[in-house]
Structure 1
Amino acid sequence: MARSVFYSFHYVPDNWRVAQVRNIGAIEGNKQATDNDWETVKKAGDQAIKNWIDGQLYRRSCTVVLIGSATAGRKWINYEIEKSWNDGKGVVGIHIHNLLDNQEKQSPKGRNPFDDFKIGERPLSSRVKTYDPPYLSSQNVYSHISDNIAEWVEEAIRIRNSG
């Protein structure tokens, strides 16, 4: 059975990379908003954005944060991470900087977004696993993610369910 996940990512620089991960098909993801959909939601204000995110997170078992060069620290990604964790969902991070974008370029590795959150005195990154495929070739990175994403999601759910 494919898990139903929410993909969290920085849209403008990473949507091409994210599309590659979504197309793997090992897990079912939320429908990606089009530019027009997102602009409509943004114009309605912060509460509308929260409501939209909350609706996208509904009935998802895990949030997969696809980490590009500028993902960490973004307001709505932070909201998605915090909401997912507080709602008891599995949370996992995957670095996607070595996947090629639509101009066939890679990007610098971004910092871990889970370092920005605390559980008691410990950073969330001490509980949430983040994977950085150990390859420079975009094809090898894609294959590594494809071969492992379903297990990474299952592991994130197990970690979250363990307390």
Structure 2
Amino acid sequence: MARRVFYSFHYKNDNWRASQVRNIGSVEGNKPANDNDWEDVKKGGEKAIQKWIDDQMKGKSAVVILVGEKTAGRKWIKYEIKKAWESGKGLIGICIHNLKDSSGNQSSKGRNPFEDFTVDGKKLSSIVSLKNPPYLSSKYVYDHISENLEDWIEEAIETRNEYA
């Protein structure tokens, strides 16, 4: 049975890259918000955004942070990381900067978003894995993610359970 996961990513910069990962199909992801839906959520203000995130995370066993060039430090990404950890969900990051966007461009590697958190005096980045596919070709990066995604999620769940 496929795991149910919540995907977190910087919508404006990485929506196209994120959709590639979400469409792999080896795990069941959260329902994507299209541009119009997301604009409606944002119009409701911070409480509406927080409620939407909380509702989307319900029933998920893991949160996958798709890390692009400008993912780290973003307010809602930070909220999702904190919420995932506090909720006992598996947590993992996957670098997606070498996947091509809709214009065929790759981007620069972003910093590790888990560096911004500590757990029991340790950087979260020393607990939670950030997977960086070892390829420059978008096709090979996609294939690497596709081949490993299920195992990475299981590893993330096991790691989180060690800190329960």
Question: So what's the TM-score if we normalise by structure 2?
Answer: 0.98
Q: Which residue of 2 aligns with 1:110?
A: 110
Question: Aligned residues: percent identity?
Answer: 61
What RMSD over aligned residues (CA atoms) do the two structures have, in Å? Answer: 0.5
Letter of the structure 2 residue corresponding to residue 112 of structure 1: N
Q: Tell me the secondary structure at the aligned position of residue 76 of structure 2.
A: helix
- Per the TM alignment, residue 23 of structure 1 is displaced from its structure 2 partner at its CA by 1.1
Give the count of matched residue pairs: 163
Counterpart position of 1:145: 145
1:145 is displaced (CA, Å) by 0.2
> In structure 2, the residue corresponding to 1:83 is in which secondary structure?
helix
Query: Which contiguous aligned blocks of 4+ residues in structure 1 show a shift greater than 3 angstroms?
Result: none
- Distance across 2 between alignment mates of 1:121 and 1:156: 20
Counterpart for residue 128 of structure 1? 128
Amino acid at match of 1:131: K
Q: What's the CA shift for 1:120?
A: 2.4
Partner of 2:74: 74
- Alignment-derived partner of residue 55 in structure 2: 55
Indicate the SS of the match to 2:102: coil
Tell me the amino acid that sits aligned with residue 42 of structure 2: K
Structure 1 SS opposite 2:64: strand
Unaligned runs of 5+ in 2: none
| 3-state SS of 1:66 partner | strand
3-state SS of paired residue (2:125)? helix
Q: Distance in 1 between matches of 2:162 and 2:46?
A: 33
The gaps in structure 1 that reach 5 residues or longer are none
1:77-101 CA distances to partner (integer Å, 9 max, x unpaired)?
A: 1000000000000000000000000
Residue 29 in structure 1 maps to residue 24 in structure 2: no
Question: Does residue 1:11 correspond to 2:11, yes or no?
Answer: yes
SS at match of 2:128: coil
How far apart are the structure 2 equivalents of 1:120 and 1:46? Answer: 29
Q: How far apart are 1:52 and its partner, in Å?
A: 0.5
State the SS of the aligned residue for 1:93: strand
